[in-house]
Amino acid sequence: MTRCRLRWLFCCALFLELPLLGGFERLSAQPPGQNSMMPKQAPIRARRQGSLVIDSLRTLLVSTEGDSRIRVLRALGWEYRKFDLLPSFDYALQSVELARTLNSKELAASLNILGIAYRNITNFPKALETFFEALKFAQADNNLREQGYAYNNIGDVYRLQGNYEWALENIGKARVVFEQMNYQEGIGYCFMRLGEIAEARQRIEEAFQYHTRAFDVRRAIRDTTQMFVSLVRIGAIHQAERRFPQALDCYARALNFMEQSGATSDVASTLARIASAEYDMGKFTEAASTAKRGLMLAQKTRTKIDIQELTFVLWRSYAALGDYKSAFEYQTLYQSTRDSISNEEGVKKTAALQIRYEIERKQDELERAEKDSRIIKWSLAGGLVMALVMLGVLINRYRLKQRANAEILRQQTILTEQAREIELANSALQEKNFLIEAERELSERLLLNVLPSSIAARLMAGEKLIADRFSNVTVLFADIAGFTQFSRENSPEELVALLDTIFSEFDTIAENNHLEKIKTIGDCYMLVGGLPEPSQDHTLRVAQAAKTMQQAVEYLNEKNQTNIAMRIGMHCGEVVAGVIGKKKFSYDLWGDTVNTASRMESHGKAGKIHCTEEVYQALKEQCVFEERGQIEIKGKGMMRTWFLEGIVS
């Protein structure tokens, strides 16, 4: 493949913002509802600044020699790693070759940069080989700084491979070296790597401590760029642990440092985190406002991953606020952005594989060329006689090669035909694998549609019988008053359309309040709070859902000119929950708590939320109730009940 075609491949990867780059500057992003760390695309502004630096270095390269030229080549390899991996590899390799030729003490530093180039294309064995060679030369030259970086880079490769014990050992050695020379920037990087390892091992408190120490070190040396990186990581840990005030404080401070360092391209992703935290706190108006600010910035830079995260928050926030028109608009934008990212992912992966292949092929060619060069030098040293002998050998070899070429051409023709047949077979196999994968994903989605995610995971893991007892949950039943008469007066199509509209809204409300829908029975809707994951505030969240259900029905009445009213009943207590069925799975609840909640609905009033004494005692400090008094409940006798009128806090 020509060098021009290589350049074209890398331009395509850059246009697609291909996330190939690694190194200290990388910052992870957390999409809504996840704790994974995903690489962010290189900011557009950073690319422009990097272009200016690269132009200056290339100009300087023309007039430098010796160790200065080695350093300029190394700097070009470092700068290009952010934008175009092939020239990054080329310049790093030139720096290493020149350092070897001049027997320069710059060799260890150049090897460290070359190792990073290998790491960035995930060629981990070659990266480790290069970093260990850098360590050897750094120790021979007593170069503590490059020793520390070599150890830290080795530990980073082991971290990426999941070998956390060896990663910790090498990062610990790097830390000892950096502390010995009091090199604070290197110490900060060590703490950051230790925090990343703790995150990968799900040791959240340990990760928090390391990222905090990294921030303190960077603050002491006034490294504002790395300070906001650490603050965002710390904020993400606070948010995952639901310490929202601390998370918001970290994000606000990070934004301040972004303004100081000019890293405006990271503002949108940080605003997405703030909006997500505000949504989790129930501050839906503030979440929508913050997300709108971030969306304006993300749309200017066309950063699709930020647009996806921000529209997700806007959709959920407006749904929680009852602004269904805005919620639908942002839901549509979120889905179109997500589909666009998904479509590009296949192209990105293909380009990434091609890039790695071309760089590794280039390295093989360089190694073969170096080997051939050594053979030629040895031959020339043999003198004129050996040269004449070699000439005769080469002439003879040329004649043999001419005859062999004809056979090679014939074999190549056969291989080309075989390759075409293999390609056709591979295409058929890939299509078959795609269909199998699609069927598997469809099965998983269907299972998740009828079961809570944690229950579905247990089934897919092979658990045969799922039955759990929960000491305290809150059960809600909602029924359409006068539905029998309504079904007589309307067509089947109108009847089903109404139920679909109402129950779809109820599904969204249940999801927004982290509740589980159990089932629908005719015109009755059943949900529960506090399972399958136990929680302390399930009764309040069910009450909030009940009030939002009333508001949704009122909105539908106003929109469709109908007069539908809901009877809602609530009770809290002990239940047994489990999965029944073999072909059609169902996750259901049993116990007196379920029966009592159903009685609250059937003995309630249209447009009212009928609650037991247990619900009143749980929420009397947070909600407004109207006492109904003692009434006769079928199968239960006399019970003191209440109507839920509003939620104070």
Residue 216 in this model has a pLDDT that exceeds 80: yes
Across the range 497-520, mean pLDDT stands at 91
| Rg of the chain in Å (alpha carbons) | 33
pLDDT of the residue at 432: 67
- CA 430 to chain centroid, in Å, comes to 27
Q: What is the pLDDT of residues 594-611, one digit of tens each?
A: 999 999 999 999 999 999
**pLDDT classification of 24: cutoffs 50, 70, 90:** very low
Q: Is the dihedral of CA 20, 25, 31, 36 positive or negative?
A: positive
Residue 269, pLDDT score: 85
Burial degree of 430 (CB within 10 A; 0-12, 13-18, 19+): exposed
Place of tokens 């948010």: 239
What's residue 264's pLDDT?
65
pTM for the whole thing?
0.46
pLDDT digits (tens, 9 = 90+) for 238-286: 888 888 898 899 888 888 888 777 666 678 888 989 989 899 999 999 9
Under DSSP, is residue 519 helix (H, G, I), strand (E, B) or coil? strand
Indicate the pLDDT class of residue 74, thresholds 50, 70 and 90.
very high
Query: Mean per-residue pLDDT for 76-103?
Result: 86
Predicted pLDDT of residue 564: 86
Q: How many CB atoms lie within 10 A of CB 33?
A: 9
pLDDT exceeding 90 applies to what percent of the chain?
Answer: 37
- Band of residue 412 on the pLDDT scale cut at 50, 70, 90: confident
What pLDDT does residue 15 have? 35
Q: How confident is the model at residue 35 (pLDDT cuts 50, 70, 90)?
A: very low
Model confidence at 640, pLDDT cuts 50, 70, 90, reads very high
Kindly state the helix (H) or strand (E) to which residue 210 belongs, with its residue range.
helix 204-220
Q: Give the residue, 425 or 192, on which the prediction is more confident.
A: 192
Give the distance, in angstroms, between the CA of residue 461 and the centroid of all CA atoms in the same chain.
Answer: 24
Q: Which residue in 607, 609, 649 sits closest to 628, CA to CA?
A: 609
Lowest mean pLDDT among 46-50, 88-92, 142-146, 628-632: 46-50
Most confident of 48-62, 406-420, 534-548: 534-548
Q: What is the mean pLDDT of residues 202-219?
A: 89
Closest CA to 345 of 387, 305, 293: 305
Q: Could you report the per-residue pLDDT of 140-190, keeping only the tens digit for each?
A: 999 999 999 999 999 999 998 899 999 999 999 999 999 999 999 999 989
| Residue 27, pLDDT score | 28
- Cα atoms found within 13 Å of the Cα of residue 622, Cβ hemisphere only: 12
Phi, then psi, of 467 in degrees rounded to 5 = -150, 125
